[in-house]
Copies of this chain bind each other. A is one copy, B any other.
Amino acid sequence: VAENDRPVVGVIGAGFGGLRVAMALRRAPVEVVLVDRRNYHLFQPLLYQVATAGLAPGEIAYPVRASLRAQKNLQFRLAEVARIDLAERRLYTSTGAIPYDYLVVACGAETNYYGLASVARHAVGLKDLDEAVVIRNHVLRMFELGAQERDPETRRAMLTFVVVGGGPTGVESAGALSELTRLVQLRDFAELEPQDLRVVLLEATNQLLSGIPQPLQIATAETLWQKHVEVRFGATVTDFDGYKVTLRSGEVIPARTVIWAAGARAAQLARSLEGPKGSLGRLAVEPTLQLPGHPNVYVIGDAAYWEEEGEPLPMVAPAAIQQARCAADNIIRQVRGEPPKPFVYQSPGSLATIGRNAAVAEIGRFRFRGFLAWLVWLVVHLMRLVGFRNRLVVLIYWAWDYLFYDRAVRVIMPDARWPWTVPGDDRRPGAGPNSNTS
């Protein structure tokens, strides 16, 4: 790989962490090999918008190669990393082996079902584009099937949308789902009434958005409630068979749709590495972000365990971005023969949106809520979206939604399937390409 004796830096993952590491090494005397199983960088904070038909997949995903086109010392490989051989200093991938001198593990997190097999089978998480598209298609199809369903109980179950988990993803998804169903879909379904619809947010503890100050937590719950989201505290899911959600209390909620935003854990690749782990399988790192015993290996982002004032860092983009800068700097220092420096975390504040005109924000000593926080949220997210075109189109879509209560992307794509079959939907419309084989 190294054609000119420069050290090779392998980077696993083109998320917020991996992409920034690659960019930060732009002028360093190294060759960067960036590996991801997707060809795009995903703007995960807006994934719930794809799931709720507000944005199209392409608006929050940007090809890695297009982002890094100008970078001469970089190669991108579309491949899945099967194994990291720390002794050999080699990645084994689906398209061959990649030797490295330095390595940055930025493979991120995956949905955590906490061992609930039935939930893992019948619910859908919200970590990648395919899941978001599957949720969108399923929700839209439930409206079409519900509108044709004569049995009132079945219809109600089809139109009950359950979100599990009161973190940012759950709160934002529940708020957006409520607006999609009540403000947008109902206009197109004369057969249905608001009374037919339920959006339920199940949270196991007694608070939403556990990281933010209590007054904002209370405001969040109140805003969701005003938007007709049934916010339920102390609600621990123990089972979902595709037809009904069962809580630990014994309560049963008939529903065909469960969006699982209740937790994440380090990706399988990180968990499979030997060494001390923090909670959720995250790899414990040195103060310099190096893997203990492997000074040429850095772990950043969701895959890394880091404590700040006794609390583990949340799995959020700003943490990954800050760690990426530190890891890239430390690699450059090591190449120069200097010792790496410890990582220092600076909290960027918290932001979460709860739909039209409503959000909560904590930035430094300032706390906002309502319309002002929503404007802050809008500007921050538009600024951060990769690529000028995306930003422009996203702005147009949002302005349209805002003015006309419409949603851009309410097309049920035939091929993306909900992982289980709804009765009455067994005859899946169109079996994909070549179903009409002669």
Contacts and interface: CB of A to CB of B under 8 A. Distances in A.
Contacts of A187: 69
Nearest to A418: B433
Given A61-B411, A94-B424, A124 B406 contact: no
Given A112-B438, A429-B78, A424 B95 contact: yes
Contact of A419 (B80, B425, B433): B433
A37 interface: yes
Interface in A267-305: 268
B65 A188 contact: yes
Contacts of A57: 56, 411, 413
Interface residues of A, number: 80
A40 B96 contact: no
Contacts of A412: 38-40, 78
Contacts of A61: 411
A9 to B, nearest CB: 18
Nearest to A137: B39
Interface string A56-83: 1110011101100100000101111010
Interface stretch (A139-147, A212-220, A319-327): A139-147
A287 to B, nearest CB: 30
A38 B429 contact: yes
A66 B434 CA distance: 29
Contacts of A133: 413, 415
| Central interface residue in A111, A406, A432, by most chain B CB within 10 Å | A432
A410 interface: yes
Contacts of A432: 130, 134, 419
A321 to B, nearest CB: 21
| Central interface residue in A82, A410, A434, A437, by most chain B CB within 10 Å | A434
Nearest to A191: B75
Interface in A156-196: 187-189, 191
A433 B40 contact: no
Contacts of A124: 433-434
Contacts of A69: 187-188
Interface in A96-133: 96, 110-117, 120-121, 124-125, 128-131, 133
A68 to B, nearest CB: 9
Interface stretch (A200-208, A373-381, A392-400): A392-400
A384 interface: no
A415 B414 contact: no
Nearest to A387: B406
A389 B413 contact: no
Contacts of A313: none
Given A39-B412, A432-B130, A437 B120 contact: yes
A357 interface: no
A268 B437 CA distance: 11
Nearest to A126: B433
Contact of A437 (B78, B121, B397): B121
A427 B78 CA distance: 12
Nearest to A39: B412
A406 B66 contact: yes
Contact of A128 (B121, B408, B414): B414
Interface in A310-367: none
Contacts of A77: 148
Given A39-B411, A40-B412, A65-B189, 15 more contacts: A38-B430, A63-B188, A75-B191, A78-B145, A80-B429, A80-B430, A95-B424, A117-B437, A120-B434, A120-B438, A124-B434, A133-B413, A389-B408, A393-B397, A419-B432
Among all A-B residue pairs, the 6 with the closest Cβ atoms: A37-B429, A78-B144, A65-B188, A94-B427, A120-B437, A130-B415
6 contacts: A63-B188, A63-B410, A78-B148, A120-B437, A130-B433, A393-B396
